[in-house]
Every structure is written in C-alpha cells, then in structure tokens.
Structure 1
Amino acid sequence: MTANRNELRSVVKERELKHTPEKVWRALTQAPLMEDWLMKTDFKPEVGHRFDLEADWGKVSCEVLTVEPHERLSYTWAAHGLESVVTWTLTETAAGTHLKMEQSGFGPDQDRAYHGARAGWEQFLDKLEKVVADLDEEDVL
C-alpha cells in the first residue's frame, strides 16, 4: 500500500499518571519545570506568546495556540524544516490524569524527524513523569 504523498503523520504518546491534572499542568506550563524535562525555554501559557526551546542540537521556534488550563495546551513546533503542532490533552481519571501528547504535521519526506520525535517524546515523557512526581501538591497553583 502506497501512502498519499500529501499525507501528514502524527506522533501520539499517552500516559496514565497518578497525579492531578493541576499538578501535570504545572509541569507542562511553568518554564523552570519545563527546563527540567524538555528544554531551556521562555514559555508563558498565553495564546500568541512566541517562545523558543533550546537544546545542544539547536533551537525550536514556537507559538502558543491553545491554553485551556488543566485540560489542553497546544503550540507550534518549528525546527530543521519541520512545521508541526504539539497538543497536550489532560483528562482527569479516578487514578489521576490521562495525558495525551500529539505532534502533528510530519510530511512523507520527513521520516528522520518523525522517527526521531517518536523516540524523543518517550524520553521527554519519562522525564516529565519524574518532574511531576517530585512536585508537592501544596505547590500547585
């Protein structure tokens, strides 16, 4: 079966976290915490805010698209020819939070970026889980 040459792909990762959506949201939206699990950043959870994510390998240029506190966050992700959107969806569960991350916009000629993102997000989410676990409930804003 041949893929449509114009078909865009997405990387989707989901986790069940034993923490409240408020606690997970804090790790997703506070720059000092984001630096602990993602990259150095000047992020602010404000629609239209432009920010960068910086790593040893380079910079990602981003813009906040959606902010629905404790439920949904999305931002553009532009780096190395990739123009994509990262969307975080938090759903409260009896045990804590179902977290879904989707990075959409990988073109058929972007296999390297697509496979790199699949591996990279697993590592970022592992670190995110540790950051969230280390937060005190009292510190949640």
Structure 2
Amino acid sequence: MNKMKLLKIITILIPVLMAMLFAVHEYILNWFINLPRCPAVRWFDIYCPACGNTRSTIALLHGDMLTSLRYNIVPLILAVLLLASYIELVTYSFGRHIRLLPRKLGFYIILIILLMAYFIIRNFIPYLTP
C-alpha cells in the first residue's frame, strides 16, 4: 500500500474515531468528576497552568466556548490548532496543499510568552481565576 493511500485512510478514520469518543465522552468524563484539588492551589494558593483544564474541556465538549474560556484558555487554543492541523492533513492527502498554521517559529514563541503571561496574570485578576 502506498503512502498516499494510507494517509487518505488515516485522514478518513480520524473523524470516525473522534465521533466514537464523543459518543462515549460522558462515560469518560465521569472518571474525572472527583479529581482531588490541585496541589498548587492547596499548598501555595496559586493557580498553575493546568488549573481549570478539565472543567474547560468538559465545557468545550458540551459546546459552551465562553465557559471553556472562563476556566482555561489552553484547551480551546489546542482545539483550534488541532482542527487547523487536521484540515491541512486533509488537503495534503487529497492533493491540495493549504497551509493554515504559521510556519514561523516567532509565532509560536509569542504564543507561549502570551500564555505564560496569562498564567501569571490570572492569579491576580479574580475574573480570570478558574
């Protein structure tokens, strides 16, 4: 089997697997309901970069983007990046090369710096706390 045919099969299987995961997401999310409180909040009274990710992901799976952003911005950013990557993969595997994601390292460095600033600032602004 050649590479392009295998790539097309994988490209088609990804949404099928995602739909299967979405169909059982309520069952999977029940595992995360009783997670212990974050050690950073418990011991140091600060929010770590991961604080609110679980609640943000749950809100995103329920289609509530504003609540997802309220808890933590990272899952929504990752969802957008993954969707853009998947669209690039689809266009590449079917012969068109559409680039949606920036290829410059500077973009990702600025994104990381902005996220770090967000993680620090949200400890001081009550509206940004998860």
Q: 1 or 2 for the larger relative contact order (CA 8 Å, sep ≥6)?
A: 1
Larger radius of gyration: 2
More strand by share: 1
